[in-house]
Amino acid sequence: MFDVTRDDIVGGSLSRALVALAAPLVVQNFALVAQSVVDLFWVGRLGGTAVAAVGLATVVVGLLVVPLQAFFTGSQVVTSQRVGADETVAARRVPFTAAAAAVAVAAVLGGGLVVGADAVAGLLTGDAAVRRLAAEYLTAYALALVAIAASDTLESGFTGWGDTRAALYVNLTAILVNVVFDPLLILGWGPFPRLELFGAALATAIGYFAGAVFALALAARGREGFRLTRRALRPHLDTARDVAEVGLPVAGQGGGRQVARLGVIWITSAVGGPAALAAYHIGSQVATVAFVPAQGVAQAATSVVGQNLGADQPARARRATWVGAAIAAVGLSVFGAVQWLVPAPIAHVFVPDLTGQALQYTVLYLQVLAYGYWALGVVYTVEAGFNGAGNTDVSMYSTLAQYWAVRLPVAVVGAYVLDIGVAAVFWGVTLSNVAAALWLAAYFYRSADRGMLDRAADDAAASD
């Protein structure tokens, strides 16, 4: 049912291709969410201060992963276009070239993180306990960065090839290993030392190293034409340049988003303290669950759009984008309605002992978030349409406007001018999501009418 060939993607039912490709990605993303929930569950056993520290550290980690996103997206888009153009040899070398570059960058970032973890944490909070715990987590996460670079870049290659089941297997390996090691290293079960937050990050590193090894094993065995060969392993500067050209705007997009999130975290901490930080982190984790189906559809749409453009079918690529947007928007609207009705029970699934001001803030955030869920479905899938066409700069500019022209100004004005406190931060998130959905949909419609996808198809055909 979920087997999809190149011919299915470029010539069969679009809705079936999207659903078939998205299904393993949705399972994979739910597994990633389960991993986050398990991490939060065990960290929650250490108390609210530990939860706040991980929430703080997560934003820093997101910023550090930004440069690596260039290789993740570049690997998927360039691979998909070359598979669509039936350039198998050229397609094979893309993920391995991208993975080698990603690992080198991650090693440099990890070294800097080990040296500067305490200073970075100190910039974001004045609470000594939160700072110390966040620094512990970040120090261990340096190892995870290298493992993530290898695992996720190779996984993106499988996704670009249209083999989303292989991507699922790689992620499940990483997640299961992480989940097993979480209680062992956080709480010191059995012969293992009690490492608390350091152990939480170390468990993540071990999991992703296992995922990277499994990805290489799958590639060595070969799947659907994606095979590890000597020729694929040779350095290829033109391939690296193609990956960087597509991926760097995504890194810029992620960088603008994560720096803005640091600003949001700072405002949240300043006006609401540790209770608001905990609510923000819990709300983000709940939202991640809600976004899983939309993210899966968007990842599938990127590959479908890329392969159809490689096969010189721009009209079909356009339809794939709109079909994906409709599926994602409807699905997220349903989840949003449930979240708005029962926010407190949902919060307690993530942190059973949540009470007092932290619970009040969390309930408010979950209800405000629910109003904009449909918009995130549109944002993810329309961005996938642009990304699959190689126009990743559009997603970058949209994200910069979303965060810097809407989200942060709403939070600052609401919190400090209108004096409505942390609620301003929560509304800033939702309003910025709705604004981004509207302008992205309008711009994609206009750009497609003016030949953007036709030009992308010509460029894909001209690549080697």
| Nearest alpha-carbon partner for 399 in 433, 373, 370 | 433
Cβ pair 391, 456 in contact under 8 A: yes
- Are residues 40 and 55 in contact, defined by beta-carbon separation less than 8 angstroms? no
Q: What phi, psi does 226 have (nearest 5°)?
A: -85, 110
Provide the b/e sequence for 1-23 (b: ≥16 CB within 10 Å): eeebebebbbeeebeebbbbbbb
Cβ contacts of 96 within 8 Å, gap of 6 or more = 154, 157, 219, 228, 232, 233
* CB-CB contact of 262 with 193 (8 Å): no
Q: pLDDT by residue (tens digit) across 231-257? A: 767 777 788 888 888 777 877 777 787
The pTM of this model reads 0.65
Query: Tens-of-pLDDT digits for all 464 residues of the chain?
Result: 455 666 667 667 777 777 777 777 777 667 766 777 777 778 878 877 888 888 778 878 878 888 888 888 888 888 887 887 777 777 888 888 888 888 999 999 988 888 888 888 887 777 788 888 888 899 889 888 999 898 888 888 888 787 777 878 888 888 889 889 989 999 989 888 899 888 888 998 999 999 889 988 888 887 777 777 777 677 777 888 888 887 778 777 777 877 887 788 888 888 888 888 888 878 887 887 777 777 778 877 877 887 778 777 888 888 888 888 888 888 889 888 999 999 989 888 777 777 888 889 989 999 999 999 999 889 988 988 888 777 778 888 898 899 999 999 999 999 999 988 889 999 999 999 999 999 999 999 988 878 888 887 777 665 54
Q: What does the pLDDT read at residue 413?
A: 93
User: Taking Cα atoms as reference points, which of 202, 206, 102 lies closest to residue 155?
Assistant: 102
Q: Which residues pair with 226 in a beta bridge?
A: 223
Closest CA to 425 of 270, 256, 252, 254: 270
Q: Which of 408, 332, 401, 336 is nearest to 366 (CA)?
A: 336
Cα gap 100→103, rounded to integer Å: 5
Cα–Cα distance list, 147 to 33, 94, 99, 110, 205 (Å): 18, 19, 10, 11, 6
Q: What percent of the chain has pLDDT over 70?
A: 94
Q: How far apart are CA 108 and CA 92, in angstroms?
A: 26
Please state, in angstroms and rounded to a whole number, the distance separating the CA atoms of residues 377 and 202.
33
Residue positions counted in the chain: 464
pLDDT of residue 282: 84
Q: Six-digit token pair at 90?
A: 């050229």
Q: How far apart, in whole angstroms, are the C-alpha atoms of residue 318 and residue 282?
A: 36
